[in-house]
């Protein structure tokens, strides 16, 4: 443990910029929204003040409408180091997209490790504004779910769940992919997919970032994290002596959970829904397992049966496969089309513990730690062989390894 702990801590030290942490010095040289939340979960065990700084830096980039941009660009990094860079977005050192709302859970965890009511009081109104943006600007389907307007907003960029909605988008051309300078093409999204991502982002930018856009999808992973974030916000409100606000946050979480079950649940799984067509995607991706985070989820037994069945083989493969192992689209090395990611494994473990699946959670924890250490904290891994792919010394892999090592096996 001590050796792995020291190595993971060294990764976070090497990736620290002074006020935030980059996911990877080469491939991702800026601050990413949900990465920073997961990184703070590890930093709190090394330096709670750094964990607080990580989150405060991110929230310093909050837009007036409440959104938290998915990238905060480092002014000391050359603009050409990453594409799309700051000039593309025309948005004052940030992107205009968002990522899943995992921040309230991170803020609460940092406070629990090193209580600081001033920190909570500073971020609570910002978190409320962030959630209100999602509730009021992103309910494109009118069913109480937050819609994403770009695959990058899911955090699971090239998931097969987006293939159908993306097929309507004409790819852009004439750009240089910086990611291929630091990673194998076989591990990354295809050129055609990337062209569609750029087209969607440019169209959204040119519209003045008005929601909804051309790609409008209700993602079960995003919404499960939204509901869980409302539960975390309820706990923060209780800490701040705001019982009425806490009750309102719990009610908001229940509404999202109810809408998910009514809209996205079918035959033992949560599927993404294309708002433009009203059709569920029918792709079994790891996003559909994230509702396990919700402690009162009525369909949890059926969802656990899917998780442990042939499509994901939870507990019998490395981590949590990002896509259905039995599907023709499954690719064990290509980004979000099959590989396992430590953040998804961490989230699913939390869900298992909340539903009393302690033995399975313990096996998953041990595998996540062992695989991270063996692969030099790889960005993602082949779920069948455990081989590392993508960047090494990856921020959230190291951070979540620290968090898993710091927790007793049966503690969520």
pLDDT in tens, 119-148: 999 999 999 999 999 999 999 999 999 999
Mean pLDDT of 356-360: 98
210 DSSP assignment: P
User: Would you state the pLDDT for residue 191?
Assistant: 84
Tell me how far apart the alpha carbons of residues 140 and 148 are, in angstroms, rounded to a whole number.
Answer: 9
User: Would you state the pLDDT for residue 395?
Assistant: 99
State yes or no: pLDDT of 194 exceeds 80. yes
- Assess contact for 56 and 12: CB atoms under 8 A: no
The CATH number fitting domain 2-406, selected from 1.10.1200.10, 1.10.10.10, 1.50.10.10, 3.40.50.10490 = 1.50.10.10
State yes or no: pLDDT of 412 exceeds 90. no
State yes or no: pLDDT of 268 exceeds 90. yes
290 DSSP assignment: G
The closest alpha carbon to 107, from 99, 115, 97, belongs to 115
Backbone angles phi, psi at 105, to 5 degrees: -65, -40
pLDDT band at residue 177 under the 50/70/90 scheme = very low
Number of neighbours of residue 314 by Cβ within 10 angstroms: 22
Tell me how far apart the alpha carbons of residues 211 and 209 are, in angstroms, rounded to a whole number.
Answer: 6
Mean pLDDT of 355-383: 98
What value, to the nearest 5°, has the Cα angle with vertex 151 and ends 199 and 293?
Answer: 170
What pairs with residue 94 in β-bridges? 72
User: Would you state the pLDDT for residue 287?
Assistant: 99
Q: Where are the alpha helices (DSSP H) in 114-242?
A: 117-137, 163-166, 191-206, 220-239
Contacts of 64 (CB under 8 A, 6+ apart): none
Let me know if 206 is a catalytic residue: no
Active-site residue, selected from the candidate residues 187, 324, 379, 403 = 379
pLDDT band at residue 187 under the 50/70/90 scheme = low
Element holding 280 (H helix, E strand): strand 279-280
- Exposed, middle or buried, 244 (CB in 10 Å: 0-12/13-18/19+)? exposed
Hey, is 273 helix, strand or coil? strand
The pLDDT tens digits for 25-72 are 988 999 999 999 999 999 999 999 999 999 999 999 999 999 999 999
User: Would you state the pLDDT for residue 175?
Assistant: 65
The pLDDT tens digits for 386-410 are 999 999 999 999 999 999 999 875 5
Q: Which two tokens stand for residue 43?
A: 């930093």
Tell me how far apart the alpha carbons of residues 271 and 282 are, in angstroms, rounded to a whole number.
Answer: 6
The pLDDT tens digits for 270-299 are 999 999 999 999 999 999 999 999 999 999
Backbone angles phi, psi at 24, to 5 degrees: -155, 135
Active-site residue, selected from the candidate residues 54, 139, 153, 157 = 157
The pLDDT tens digits for 151-171 are 999 999 999 999 999 999 999
- Assess contact for 119 and 110: CB atoms under 8 A: yes
Contacts of 384 (CB under 8 A, 6+ apart): 317, 318, 325, 332
User: Would you state the pLDDT for residue 128?
Assistant: 99
Let me know if 192 is a catalytic residue: no
242 DSSP assignment: -
- Compute CA distances 220 → 161, 205, 214, 271, whole Å: 11, 25, 19, 6
Tell me how far apart the alpha carbons of residues 198 and 83 are, in angstroms, rounded to a whole number.
Answer: 9
Hey, is 144 helix, strand or coil? coil
User: What integer best gives the mean pLDDT of the chain?
Assistant: 95
The closest alpha carbon to 290, from 275, 312, 274, belongs to 312
What pairs with residue 31 in β-bridges? 72
What pairs with residue 380 in β-bridges? 389
What pairs with residue 344 in β-bridges? none
The pLDDT tens digits for 297-320 are 999 999 999 999 999 999 999 999
The pLDDT tens digits for 85-115 are 999 999 989 999 999 999 999 999 999 999 9
- Relative to beta strand 273-274, strand 217-218 is antiparallel
User: Would you state the pLDDT for residue 102?
Assistant: 99
């Amino acid at each position: 443990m001590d050796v792995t702990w020291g190595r993971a801590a060294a990764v976070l030290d090497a990736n620290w910029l002074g006020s935030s942490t980059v996911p990877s010095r080469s491939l991702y040289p800026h601050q990413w929204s949900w990465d920073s939340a997961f990184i703070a979960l590890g930093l709190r065990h090394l330096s709670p003040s750094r964990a607080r700084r990580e989150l405060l830096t991110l929230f310093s980039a909050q837009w007036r409408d409440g959104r938290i941009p998915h990238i905060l660009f480092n002014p000391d990094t050359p603009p050409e180091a990453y594409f799309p860079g700051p000039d593309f977005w025309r948005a004052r050192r940030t992107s205009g997209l968002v990522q899943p709302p995992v921040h309230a859970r991170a803020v609460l965890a940092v406070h629990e490790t090193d209580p600081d009511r001033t920190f909570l009081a500073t971020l609570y109104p910002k978190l409320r504004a962030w959630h209100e943006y999602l509730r009021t600007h992103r309910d494109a389907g009118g069913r109480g779910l937050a819609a994403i307007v770009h695959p990058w907003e899911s955090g699971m960029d090239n998931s097969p769940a987006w293939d159908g909605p993306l097929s309507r988008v004409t790819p852009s051309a004439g750009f240089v992919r910086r990611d291929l300078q630091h990673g194998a093409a076989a591990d990354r999204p295809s050129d055609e997919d990337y062209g569609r991502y750029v087209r969607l982002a440019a169209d959204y930018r040119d519209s003045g970032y008005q929601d909804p856009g051309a790609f409008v999808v209700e993602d079960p992973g995003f919404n499960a994290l939204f509901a869980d974030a409302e539960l975390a916000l309820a706990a923060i409100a209780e800490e701040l002596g705001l019982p009425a606000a806490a009750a309102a946050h719990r009610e908001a979480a229940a509404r999202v959970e109810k809408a998910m079950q009514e809209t996205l649940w079918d035959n033992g799984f949560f599927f993404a829904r294309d708002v433009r067509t009203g059709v569920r995607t029918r792709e079994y991706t790891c996003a559909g397992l994230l509702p396990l985070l919700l402690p009162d989820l009525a369909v949890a037994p059926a969802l656990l049966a899917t998780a442990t069945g042939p499509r994901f083989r939870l507990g019998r493969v490395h981590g949590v496969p990002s896509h259905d192992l039995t599907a023709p689209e499954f690719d064990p090395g290509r980004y979000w089309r099959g590989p396992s990611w430590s953040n998804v494994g961490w989230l699913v473990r939390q869900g298992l513990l909340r539903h009393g699946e302690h033995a399975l959670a313990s096996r998953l924890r041990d595998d996540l730690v062992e695989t991270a250490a063996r692969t030099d904290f790889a960005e993602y891994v082949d779920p069948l062989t455990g081989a590392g792919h993508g960047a090494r010394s990856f921020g959230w892999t190291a951070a979540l390894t620290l968090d898993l090592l710091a927790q007793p096996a049966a503690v969520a």
